[in-house]
Structure 1
Amino acid sequence: MNALESKAQALFLDYSRLSNEALRGAARANIDALAQAFAGYFVGASPTGVMGWAKDETLPATLRQNFEAYRAMGGTRFEIVHMTVEALDGTNAMVRADWEFDYLRPRDDAAGTIAFRNIYFVNFAGDRPAIFAWIAQDEAQAMRDHGLA
């Protein structure tokens, strides 16, 4: 693994840890650190379409709302369980991250795990790595399929 790939891996290990802490409770959440993982502008693609956002003052509030929704669905763990990193050139890498979202469904206490893979693109041109794009599965549909939404 080269230096760029090692930096990308470290970014996502931290991102996974921060995501899991944010899920476990608002008091444990370091939302500002999660927001710092993103570039000034970033895009996402999923089966529902392509979206883009500017990293502005609304990002932390959006992240907080997302984790509140995950907690309300009964989320208990949200972690990357495996990843592969590929340097694309001297300043960009692609990360395939296999996530697991564990839950205890509030209506009937049924436990389960939703496994999914996201693909991220990371740029290293600035003083810190930054996620500038990702490709994701239909998360909302996966939640509905498990009776969480």
Structure 2
Amino acid sequence: METSVRRLFERYESFFNRSLAGKVDMNELASLYASEFIGAAPAGVKAGKNDDQFKQLMAQGYEHYRAIGTKEMRIRNVRLSQIDELHCVAHVAWIATYARKDQPDVTIDFDVHYLVQMLNGEPKVFGWVSGDEQALLKKHGII
């Protein structure tokens, strides 16, 4: 399971950076997620489906990241907490780099905890727990 989950997040990192470059493939994004999922952040908990609306919202999200100057997202570390033979929590430490007008780039470290399930031998994200992204971006002068 560990090797498969690490490869999943390598794909996710690669997809994210291609999307920041304007090369968005929403079908590729959809392939990383289970058919239904949950997300939790300080704003609350939401459930959703891996459908056309999800793809549209994610495309808008990547457009927003580009608009605020996100240059790159890199994984610093992936640590797994296995729940059983089919489920784990992937604790992913990210490093984000942002361009700012007339100032040096800003690098921000943050963590997201992804719920992952093995489906037909392939890992899929079915949920995530994240911190307050907006507060972190404000703290670092990004927004």
2: CA distance, partners of 1:63 / 1:99? 18
**Offset from partner CA, 1:61-88 (integer Å, 9 cap, x none):** 1111111111110111012121112322
Greater strand proportion: 2
1: CA distance, partners of 2:27 / 2:109? 26
The AA in structure 2 aligned to 1:145 is K
- For residues 75-86 of structure 1, the aligned pairs below 5 Å read 75-86=70-81
Name the counterpart of 1:137: 131
Name the counterpart of 1:71: 66
2: CA distance, partners of 1:62 / 1:127? 28
CA deviation after TM superposition for structure 1 residue 126, in Å? 3.2
Name the counterpart of 2:97: 102
**Offset from partner CA, 1:2-33 (integer Å, 9 cap, x none):** xx11111110111111111111x22x222321
Of 9, 16, 21 in structure 2, the residue corresponding to residue 12 of structure 1 is 9
Compute the TM-score of the two structures, normalised by the length of structure 2.
0.92
- Give 5+ residue unaligned stretches, structure 1: none
2: CA distance, partners of 1:45 / 1:102? 24
Identity of aligned residues (%): 28
Contact 1:94 1:120 in 2 (8 A): yes
Name the counterpart of 1:29: 24
Aligned length: 143
Secondary structure, aligned partner of 1:147:
coil
2: CA distance, partners of 1:125 / 1:69? 31
RMSD: 1.4
2: CA distance, partners of 1:144 / 1:82? 24
- 1:58 has 2:73 as partner: no
The AA in structure 2 aligned to 1:10 is R
Compute the TM-score of the two structures, normalised by the length of structure 1.
0.88
The AA in structure 2 aligned to 1:40 is S
